Amino acid sequence: MRTYIDTNPQGYGFLIPFSEREATVVTAYPDLPHNRTKDPDLLFDLFYKQVCKDLAQDLRITDNFEVHGYIMGICNKAKAGNTYFVGNNFGAMMPAFGFGQFTSVLTGVYAAQDILGMGDYEALTKKLRHAYENSLVLRRAMEKLDNNKLDLIVQGLDSELIDKAFDNEGQFDIVKVISYLLRPFV
Ligand SMILES: Cc1cc2nc3c(=O)[nH]c(=O)nc-3n(C[C@H](O)[C@H](O)[C@H](O)COP(=O)(O)OP(=O)(O)OC[C@H]3O[C@@H](n4cnc5c(N)ncnc54)[C@H](O)[C@@H]3O)c2cc1C
């Protein structure tokens, strides 16, 4: 993952391989008023060219899509009467990297547990709310990093640190890892 401050203002870009032949290349930056004059196609193109250069590969684009004006946030209350806010309606998408699938599944499980009388949805989702708040702090800290510092953090994600990222219930907590790595910079 790299920031490319000039190409992704307050954002980042990354390539994640799916297999030996396919990968996804992503750029993301906040949709703030001062960023709206930027041309997203041009920004992506700059990043894409940099990725091809870094990997010394002429990557062929087979599919692409863009998302604009995607609002992130979290609900004040996880449940209103008999209505459960789950997935994105809960606020599952984490501000740091925009990941929300795992949290979405968890909200579904917790809602089911509440319906079955096996727990309280508001209490069960408390740690997800906490993770969201931590992720927001991380996001703001990451926006201040330059390319080299962000590269250092990504390189720091070694296996030993990843092992430490599992909480007492065996759940992986990426926010915990990154916040540890960000400590020298905030
Ligand atoms: C561009 C982008 C990239 C992302 N990348 C990642 C990632 O790499 N990793 C990650 O963990 N998360 C990622 N996320 C976040 C993740 O996709 C969401 O947090 C998660 O999918 C939310 O799950 P959900 O079930 O709440 O909603 P969704 O996955 O959006 O599911 C809602 C479903 O309901 C359907 N629907 C809507 N209205 C109706 C209706 N009236 N009747 C019937 N059906 C309806 C929709 O078509 C959709 O299929 C990304 C999100 C975006 C936008």
Q: What is the DSSP secondary structure assignment for residue 53, as one 8-state letter?
A: H
Half-sphere exposure of 18 (CA within 13 A, CB side): 5
User: 80-84 long-range CB contacts below 8 Å, 24 or more apart?
Assistant: 84/111, 84/114, 84/115, 84/121
Specify burial of residue 151 (Cβ count, 10 A radius: 0-12, 13-18, 19+).
middle
Q: Is the pLDDT of residue 4 over 60?
A: no
**Separation of CA 28 and ligand 1 centre (Å):** 17
**Separation of CA 16 and ligand 1 centre (Å):** 20
Distance of CA 106 to the CA centre of its chain: 16
Rounded-to-integer distance, Cα 135 and Cα 141, Å = 10
pLDDT in tens, 123-180: 999 999 988 988 888 788 878 888 887 777 777 666 555 556 656 555 556 666 666 6
pLDDT in tens, 75-116: 999 999 999 999 999 999 988 878 899 999 999 999 999 999
pLDDT in tens, 29-85: 888 888 888 888 988 999 999 999 999 999 999 999 999 888 899 999 999 999 999
> Ligand 1 pocket test: which of 101, 128, 132, 175 has the largest number of ligand atoms within 8 Å of its C-beta?
101
pTM of the model: 0.81
**Separation of CA 152 and ligand 1 centre (Å):** 31
**Separation of CA 160 and ligand 1 centre (Å):** 32
